[in-house]
Amino acid sequence: MFNSRRSGRIAVSVIACLFGVCSAAGAQDSPTEDASPVKKDLPLDIGQQAVLSRFDRFEKELVQMAEQLRKADPERAELLFRTHSKSQQERVIGQMRMIHELLADQNPQFGDSIQRQEQLVASLLTLLDLLQSENRISEIEAERARVKELLKNVNKMIGKEKDVRANTERGADPSKSASDQEGVAKDADELIEQIKQQDARKQAEQESHKPASENDSEKPAGENPEPKDPSSPKDGDSEPKDPKSSDPKDGDSKPGEPKDGQPKDGQPSKGEPKDGEPQDGEPKDRQKPQDGQPKDGQPESGEPGEQKDQQQTPGREDLEEARQEMEKAIQELKEKKDRGKASRHQDEAIRQLLEAKEKLEEILRQLREEEKSLTLASLESRFRKMLSMQLLVYQETLRLDKESEGQSENVIARGKQLATQEEEILQEVDKALVVLREEGSSVAFPEAVEAIREDAASIVELLDQGKAGELTQTLEQAVIEAIEEMVDALQKEMEKKKDEEQQKGEQQQGQPQDKPLVDALSELKMLRSLQLRINRRTRQLGRMIEGNQAAEPELLKQLKTLSARQSRIQRATYDLSTGRNK
């Protein structure tokens, strides 16, 4: 069975090729760098040949796995076939061979090879996005649902905290305000605990799905099998076992500085608090091994802190700090009855909650952008596959029309074979239509795919009857044109996405709006193209009609289809103008 580990191995193969190409390019600019999987003492052309051989093996394995999965898991088999097809379209092997020839020349052409390597890296990244699109899109949907729920709870908590602060400032009974504040603090505790559990589950899943080679690569080459504990000099050992490594680790320029309880921040030692005094409550406490407990469960208290911070949900620390401020406000209200100080702590809690809200909103925006990129890449690859399939059917239809004389059995049989091939295209169209309708933000693109579907269904009926004449060829030409236009539109959207990522310096604050899959201008262009195609088809059908009125069943059916299509375009235009798709 095709599992996530084998899928990960395929993605790792693409990443390895990426590193190989990038490192070869880096070696041409700075031959002293040493971070590439290709040994730096090898000539560049041999290194490029190694990358080429590796990718060639990867392509063969891709096809083999797709063949094995054709019956057991057709969806994933199709993804692998589409990836292989995309590799052929991008001419990845050809690009690698060209780079190898440039580097193997007696006078290596480094400038041209670097430029081609940049194009090759872009092609490999496209393949990687396509391979990751299947599982990643479902992961993104689940993560978006989780973050939206967290954001909803944070917004409720902000409203409650503002109410408590307003009561405090209005001079309400301190015990009542303290009780209300305890209720909000309890909500914060529950939310923080929920996020911690979610982060722990996510990290456990990532560890379980991580390929074995990836775990091995985390250890730097040449490191001792015994892990060095970077915090060992801080644990109160009177005899440091590795003075050479322990001194520089603290970042101290003074070798004579004390090791244990003394401050290590490079600050002057004159006014420092004594060893046992935690009175300032600042990070000084964490310099003592016994006081290494995190603040209210915060994970940033020592050695594993940095790694955990990378895994935890952004905004969690802000929630924990808001919870601390709430506790301080409770103490002020209960013990000292000081409304002023309590109100200031409540203001700070609100500020921290707003910080958490902004970070969660930013996560939603990033997830939406990633989902959009993966969806566009998946659709573009699927439509390219349809295009190559439709071109083959069209060529065979032309051949069949030239060779056919009457309704012979041979013509009928070959027509049925072509109808079966067209049905495969129809299945691909249906899958693309499901993706667009589930995504839900576009009105023109699903309508364009629906038009392709109607034409493909008509082609199936005509070919099944052995009819390869003018009407069948006209429909096939229309499908080819529509698919080409769809591929071009999706490519432009992907380019826009890349440009937006490069220019994203300024981020708007506030509630992030879900950006549509394609912008309004692209929607209008697609509607215009659909209308032009209807106009052209109407003229084509008019030339096929003898007299003033159509009598042939096929032509009547096509006219009815065009009428229904015109109504749908009218409705899609209205939806776009009124914003009903948002």
Query: What pLDDT, in 10s, does the model give residues 526-569?
Result: 999 999 999 998 888 888 887 777 778 888 888 899 999 999 99
Write down the pLDDT at residue 238.
Answer: 41
Closest to 273 (Cα-Cα) out of 260, 284, 287, 257: 284
> Tokens 């109407």 label which residue?
538
Q: Is residue 444 part of a domain?
A: yes
Share of the chain above pLDDT 90, in %: 28
Is 391 part of a structural domain of the chain? no
pLDDT of residue 202: 84
Residue ending a domain, choose from 98, 113, 135? 135
User: What range does the domain containing 121 cover?
Assistant: 4-135
Q: Is residue 436 part of a domain?
A: yes
Distance separating alpha carbons of residues 397 and 440, to the nearest angstrom: 36
pLDDT for 304: 42
Last residue of a domain, one of 135, 156, 188: 135
Alpha-carbon torsion (220, 226, 232, 233), positive or negative = negative
Q: At which of 75, 106, 135 does a domain end?
A: 135
| Residue 274 in this model has a pLDDT that exceeds 60 | no
How far apart (Å, rounded) are the C-alpha atoms in residues 487 and 381? 8
pLDDT value, residue 20:
53
Residue 277: inside a domain, yes or no? no
Taking CA atoms, 490 is separated from 65, 69, 303, 373, 389, in Å, by: 28, 28, 46, 10, 19
Number of domains, the chain: 2
Q: Which two tokens stand for residue 455?
A: 């034409």
Q: Which of 68-77, 139-148, 269-278 has the lowest mean pLDDT?
A: 269-278
Q: Identify whether 330 is part of a domain.
A: no
115: in domain: yes
Confidence category of residue 10, pLDDT binned at 50, 70, 90? low
Element (H, E) at 469: none
Mean residue pLDDT of the chain comes to 75
Q: Mutual orientation of helices 92-104 and 44-72 as an angle, nearest 10°?
A: 170
- In the predicted model, is pLDDT for residue 250 greater than 50? no
Supply the pLDDT for residue 133.
Answer: 64
